[in-house]
Amino acid sequence: MLETERSVPIKIVSVTTMVVNAEMRNWIFVKVMTDQDGLYGWGEASLNWKTRAVASTVEDLAPLLIGRDPRDIEQILRVLNKHSYYRLGIIGATAISGIEHALWDIFGKSLGVPAWRLLGGKVRDRVRVYTHLGMGDMKSVYETFDEGALRDRALAVIDKGYDALKVVFIPYSHYSVSNAARRDVGRRMQVLRDAVGDDVDIMIDFHGRPASQSAALQFIEELVPYRPMFCEEPVQPGDAEALRAITARAACPIAAGERLVGFKEFEPLFRAQAVNIIQPDLNHTGGLLEGKRIAHAAEHAFMGVAPHNPNGPIAGAAALHFDVSTPNFVIQEEMSGAVPWYDDVVSTPMRRIGNAWQVPESPGLGVEINEREAARHPFKQEVMHASGAVLDDGTVVDW
């Protein structure tokens, strides 16, 4: 265990990225090196179909970090956000998130404590998790519409010890919904519920596919008899009033937030009481400190927090430390073991017993990368699932 006295100055000397292709997506790992022998931190800045842009952004931001004390996380975040001059969107926020994860890793290692100690301490003894159909296989997640495959893949998840799962089977939609489409959604949900029983939670990710409130509500009406844990992102992000109207009429919890960046984009949801559960992605919204601010505001708005995370292993580790220390946490999305060689490339603190991650005790985020093994999986162009989001008449719709 590496321990560095608080009085000893620490300086950042380099910031680099390593891209690892995990078959259906790329992971972007960020490594921050210090001038202390053996003291460095790992973070993650993965973003679908934006790999080269994010990795280059980390490189562009790196000069703002050199020579700074990595433990001054609040100050560094201010520098990264304010001295960039132009406001940073999802690409910039993801780059900053990966850098910030690495700073918490360094901070924890410097004191010999897990990062959750520095984020407010432990508020629970385990972290409930869920996964998707296929347990990380993106094709299974986004392309399972057949009822037999839904049943089989759901049962495979339950056989692994999970008691909650998420599905993405809302059809590509527009402003209206056909009776056939409604029936298909209701039948798929019935098949799932009959297969897994009443004690397993099912979440339905709409992926923002409905183009109107009425279309979203018609699908929700079909799902409600089968008691979903929540319906996620029923319409596209950015319209708090539309979400508020859906939440007011839906007879089940509504969740949203994975595509929002920073507290300012979440604030309208709190003000409008627009959802029941918020889903910040700690890999995209600016990091753990920004995530904590969002969670605190959500608690005052009587909302739970279920962090979004279909990303890689370091993002999962960061989410674990956030969940351990966040009182209004509900459940965590995870995709550990998404590729067969997962454990060859990275060691993580996520230890799952049944339906829950256990609380880690190793310093920092508790992550280590085997860089030689990681280098065996270089960047590849990701699979573009969105290419199928076209209606029969050629209309391009939301993925």
As a whole number, mean pLDDT of residues 253-276 equals 97
Residue 97 has pLDDT above 50, yes or no: yes
pLDDT, one tens digit per residue, over 160-219 is 999 999 999 999 999 999 999 999 999 999 999 999 999 999 999 999 999 999 999 999
Q: Is 248 exposed, middle or buried (0-12, 13-18, 19+ CB in 10 A)?
A: exposed
Within this chain, do residues 307 and 179 fall inside the same structural domain, yes or no?
yes
As a whole number, mean pLDDT of residues 371-389 equals 88
What's the total number of domains in the chain? 2
Query: Torsion-angle region of residue 279: left (phi > 0), alpha (psi -120 to 50) or beta?
Result: beta
CATH number at residue 18: 3.30.390.10
CATH number at residue 128: 3.20.20.120
* Boundary-marking domain end, from 85, 113, 141: 113
Within this chain, do residues 207 and 236 fall inside the same structural domain, yes or no?
yes
Name the pLDDT band for 140 (thresholds 50, 70, 90): low
Within this chain, do residues 82 and 159 fall inside the same structural domain, yes or no?
no
Within this chain, do residues 21 and 127 fall inside the same structural domain, yes or no?
no
Residue 5 has pLDDT above 90, yes or no: no
**Judging by DSSP bridges, how do beta strands 201-205 and 164-167 pair with one another?**
parallel
Within this chain, do residues 174 and 93 fall inside the same structural domain, yes or no?
no
Residue 372 in any domain: the answer is: no
* Boundary-marking domain end, from 113, 134, 168: 113
Residue 84 in any domain: the answer is: yes
Of 339 and 18, the structure prediction assigns the larger pLDDT to 18
Mean pLDDT of the chain: 94
CA 146 – CA 230 distance, rounded (Å): 22
Residue 398 in any domain: the answer is: no
Residue 374 in any domain: the answer is: no
Residue 336 has pLDDT above 90, yes or no: no
83 an active-site residue? no
- Give per-residue burial for 13-34: e unless 16+ CB within 10 Å, then b: eebebbbbbbbbbbbbbbbbbb
Residue 150 in any domain: the answer is: yes
As a whole number, mean pLDDT of residues 281-293 equals 97
Residue 141 has pLDDT above 80, yes or no: no
Q: Which of 101, 308, 377, 385 is catalytic?
A: 308
Residue 271 sits at the vertex; the CA angle it makes with 265 and 277, to the nearest 5 degrees, is 75
As a whole number, mean pLDDT of residues 315-327 equals 98
Within this chain, do residues 308 and 350 fall inside the same structural domain, yes or no?
yes
207 an active-site residue? yes
CA 95 – CA 99 distance, rounded (Å): 6
Handedness of CA 236, 237, 243, 247 (dihedral sign): positive
Residue 2 in any domain: the answer is: no
Range of the domain at 62: 12-113
Within this chain, do residues 194 and 173 fall inside the same structural domain, yes or no?
yes
Within this chain, do residues 79 and 127 fall inside the same structural domain, yes or no?
no
pLDDT for res 138: 62
* Boundary-marking domain end, from 72, 95, 113: 113
Within this chain, do residues 80 and 135 fall inside the same structural domain, yes or no?
no
- Asked if 62 and 8 count as a contact pair (C-beta separation under 8 A), the reply is no
Place of tokens 């001038």: 35
Q: Which of 207, 284, 321, 385 is catalytic?
A: 207
Within this chain, do residues 155 and 271 fall inside the same structural domain, yes or no?
yes
Q: What percent of the chain has pLDDT over 70?
A: 96
Residue 371 in any domain: the answer is: no
Within this chain, do residues 165 and 98 fall inside the same structural domain, yes or no?
no
Residue 23 has pLDDT above 90, yes or no: no
pLDDT for res 1: 44
Place of tokens 């990681």: 374
Within this chain, do residues 151 and 123 fall inside the same structural domain, yes or no?
yes
As a whole number, mean pLDDT of residues 140-161 equals 85
Residue 205 in any domain: the answer is: yes
